[in-house]
Amino acid sequence: MIGIKKFRFEDESLMKQAHDIRHEVFVIGQNCPEDMEWEFEEESTHFLVFKENKAVATARHRKTVKGFKLERFAVLNTERGKGFGHIVLKAIITDLLDYKGEIYMHAQTNVIPFYEKMGFVKTGNEFEEAGIMHYKMSLHSN
């Protein structure tokens, strides 16, 4: 059974599960600086995807001066390719359905096609963030 939970920083149990996934994917798997990984937690709205009551994917969004920024998309290595990234991205887009401003992200270059399938468009030039190459991508509204 697949489920998704939306939560805030104050929910310590869900936050720990999200942190565990992000630590495995970003800090250990991609060697991202740990201090960068935990910034903006309190002001973000977080999401977790569960498979059989086990957290397998996470992401978040937060309001910035430019619009809503989607961040920290992470799926456990053993659960990739099973649609969990799409599930969490769809949940975030649905959560922001009534928002009329820009919805954007800094997407790692190697996953650009994933986000393009979901309606995001690359804008600007490739840039480095946390030692990894990215593009800014914005959700193209129809």
If you search the block for the tokens 């489920």, which residue do you land on?
3
CA distance linking residue 24 with residue 98, whole number of Å: 33
Domains identified in the chain, total number: 1
CATH number, position 103:
3.40.630.30
Q: Which two tokens stand for residue 21?
A: 């996934």
H-helix or E-strand containing 115?
Answer: helix 112-117
pLDDT at 141: 58
Q: In what order do the strands lie in the sheet with 45-51?
A: 2-7, 45-51, 54-64, 67-75, 103-108, 132-139, 120-129
CA distance linking residue 102 with residue 99, whole number of Å: 8
Q: Which domain holds residue 117?
A: 2-139
Residues 119 and 140 sit within 8 Å (Cβ to Cβ): yes
pLDDT at 37: 76
pLDDT in single tens digits along all 142 residues of the chain: 999 999 999 999 999 999 999 999 988 888 877 777 788 999 999 999 999 999 999 999 999 999 999 999 999 999 999 999 999 999 999 999 999 999 999 999 999 999 999 999 999 899 998 888 999 999 975 4
pLDDT at 39: 86
- Claim: this prediction has a pTM higher than 0.85: yes
pLDDT at 84: 96
If you search the block for the tokens 């978040």, which residue do you land on?
60
